[in-house]
Amino acid sequence: MDFQNKKVQLQDLGAKDYKDTWDYQEELFKGIVDLKIKNRREELNELTPNYFLYVEHPHVYTLGKSGDFSNLLLSEKQLEDKGATFYKINRGGDITYHGPGQIVGYPILDLENFFTDIHKYLRFLEEAIILTLGEYGVASTRSEGETGVWLDVGTPFARKICAMGVRASRWVTMHGFALNVNADLGYFDNIIPCGIRGKGVTSLHVELGRPIDEAEVKEKIVKHFASLFEAEMV
């Protein structure tokens, strides 16, 4: 690509239903893909936009396209009793939970504006979270063969603090990461998170023993994201 747009439009959607947010993601995603097709077809060089959405979902369980439904340990009635919803979606990965106290980030990027490497993209997302947690004195890392960000990998106390699942088509990304900041971890007891048995889940407020300022965490993530991707957040 001759021209690259390094600007990323940051939008904080606040508290928003999962399905409504997914529809919005699809709309932005389709807009970028359609523009790329038009550019190619008509030999244009219109810049493609990039977005970074922040959102907090009401209690919801989502299952990725390679996921196993049996990793949800609740009946429809039990879901209802917990005030939770369930969706099967088109990202990679297995089952995960989203809810209040969790910072969810959905970068919808045209990677041709940055680099065309999905593996590198995932590593950069993980790195933005690892660097953010480091600012709180929490040492985190990757776990080989498993996406996301973990604490105490290689010990019996390994626990996941940030889940990731993305979809990409024509180098355009959607879905993203979910970082537990002040999350109610009891909701994870109703699933086998990401299909991985015997590994715990944690939240930043549990690790630090105090409530965490989520706005501050969001600022730190964006700062590291911008630095890693050499992006300008607007």
Annotated binding site for substrate: 91-98, 163-165, 176-178
47 secondary structure, DSSP code: P
φ/ψ of 109, rounded to 5, equals: -115, 145
61, β-bridge pairs: 86, 97
d(CA 62, CA 97): 6
The three-state secondary structure class of 74 is: coil
160, β-bridge pairs: 150, 201
Residue 162 a catalytic site member: no
d(CA 47, CA 175): 22
187 secondary structure, DSSP code: G
d(CA 62, CA 57): 11
Q: Which residues are annotated as a binding site?
A: 91-98, 163-165, 176-178
Q: Please tell me which residue in 194, 201, 212, 222 is annotated as part of the active site.
A: 194
Strands 85-88, 60-63: pairing is parallel
SS (H, E, C) 28-46: HHHHHHHHHHHHHHHCCCC
What residues are annotated to the active site? 194
